[in-house]
Amino acid sequence: MAELGKILIIDDNEDVLLALNLLLRPKAEKVKTMRSPERLVHAMTDFRPDLILLDMNFTRDTVSGQEGMECLQAILKLDPNAVVIMMTAYADTDKAVQAIKAGATDFVSKPYDNDKLLATLHSAMKLRRLQADAARLQERVEALNAEREEARPRLIGESDCMKRVADLVGQIGGTDVNVLLLGENGTGKDVLARLLVDRSTRAAEPFVRIDVGAVPDTLFESELFGHEKGAFTDAHQGKKGRMELAHGGTLFLDEVGNLSPSAQAKLLTALEKKRIVRVGGTKEIPINVRLICATNADLHTQVADGRFRQDLFYRINTVEIHIPPLRERGHDIQLLADFFLEKYARKYHKPVKGIARDARNKLQQYPWPGNVRELQHTIERAIVLSHNERLAPEDFPLYPTTAKAAPETLNLQELERQAVRRALQLSEGHLNQAAEMLGITRYTLYRKIEKLGL
């Protein structure tokens, strides 16, 4: 980068312009000279100078400096952070004070000393760079604040069923009770978990999440409790488990209905004793965690069938919150669609301003088997691909719900094939989403795709 950036010089004396051009061109990125401020707007918007050397006197009055002051005001109107150094052949303290009070950065008199002028310009350039750094930092702070605000968990909905959820959250928000969140995949159980944490006394403490369905049973104990060095092959160093990392804060067990009987027993023991032992270790480590669990499974039925321990069930659901599917939330579909539209229009810098009425009707009539998550991906896709200011029905290629039904079959493999195919369609090929819809792990879905020839 040139030492002095881009310099604009405005002076009615051609000899001064020539001399300054010769002096500054080797040290500046670019130098632009003007004999009058008539094309000031063009110079400020197109040339975008870092520094401006401005004569105080032009043709109207030789000594008053009025024209220079008017030009200074015009410059500062175009760029309030402009770095302007005033010049006059009549050194006058009053004019210097007047110019600096009006927004000038500094003041030099003619005839100028080259070294002193360069020193003044270098100081002014440091100020310009500091201003630019401060502006970038401010923009970054504002962007981070916007991201933080956007990332804050929110309950969006005015339906009666969501008002009941909001009331429950309000009642238990400031407590440490264990909470069980029940609901279909994509209804927002993870968002609600974060909202509960955000309103709790542990909001500033660790929030640690485990996706139980994604952790093989053989690794669950190590993942939850940690392990010591040498506890098993490849355990080259000790590792804290999720429960230890969550000490003092909140542990979120997602898809807790997938816990195996042995994992259920180990979790229950840790919760009752409030102590853990790392795999391969002997030392008991005290733990203090608030537990939030979530599942799309019917845990009540699993308890009745003996597939989920009743004592663990009572331990994890001091308060139970059922999150309704999107198809039961009425006008909330529109509120959520508008929320996601604003979010992704801003993220992708798209000029989308709304959703056409017929497109809204299409969204409202669709049953949303993937719930809020499916609606979110649908709006995001429409924003990215649309070239219109208002989203139209064709921007939402939803799968029709009134299609001719397939012949009824009770063949288990065929039913499984239909379920996997449907999940892949609804998730548009995203395997993680499809696995969540099916209530299985991504690895299990891979095996089923191969087995079923899909």
Residue-wise pLDDT tens digits, 260-287? 999 999 999 999 999 999 999 899 999 9
SS3 of residue 355 by DSSP: strand
Q: What tokens appear for 75 in the block?
A: 């410059």
Read off the pLDDT band of 355 (50, 70, 90): very high
* Lowest pLDDT segment from 2-11, 80-89, 134-143, 326-335: 134-143
- How far is residue 52's CA from residue 166's CA, in Å, rounded to a whole number? 58
The residue with greater pLDDT, 214 or 430, is 214
Q: Look at the alpha carbons of 397, 400, 405, 410 in this order and tell me if their dihedral is positive or negative.
A: positive
Q: Give the neighbor-by-neighbor strand order of the sheet with 6-10.
A: 30-34, 6-10, 51-55, 84-88, 106-109
Judged on CB neighbours under 10 Å (0-12, 13-18, 19+), 126 is exposed
Q: Which residues contact 245 (CB under 8 A, 6 or more apart)?
A: 206, 208
DSSP for 98-151 reads HHHHTT-SEEEESSPPHHHHHHHHHHHHHHHHHHHHHHHHHHHHHHHHHHHHHH
- Amino acid identity for residue 224 in this structure: L
**Which domains, from first to last, does the chain contain?**
6-138 (3.40.50.2300), 160-324 (3.40.50.300), 327-395 (1.10.8.60), 412-452 (1.10.10)
Q: What tokens appear for 287 in the block?
A: 């733990």
pLDDT at 342 over 60: yes
For tokens 């000490």, what's the residue?
A: 247
288: nearest Cα among 243, 319, 320, 258:
243
- How far is residue 101's CA from residue 107's CA, in Å, rounded to a whole number? 11
Helix, strand, coil % (nearest 5) of the chain? 50, 15, 35
Is there a contact between 238 and 228 (Cβ–Cβ < 8 Å)? Answer: yes
pLDDT at 383 over 60: yes
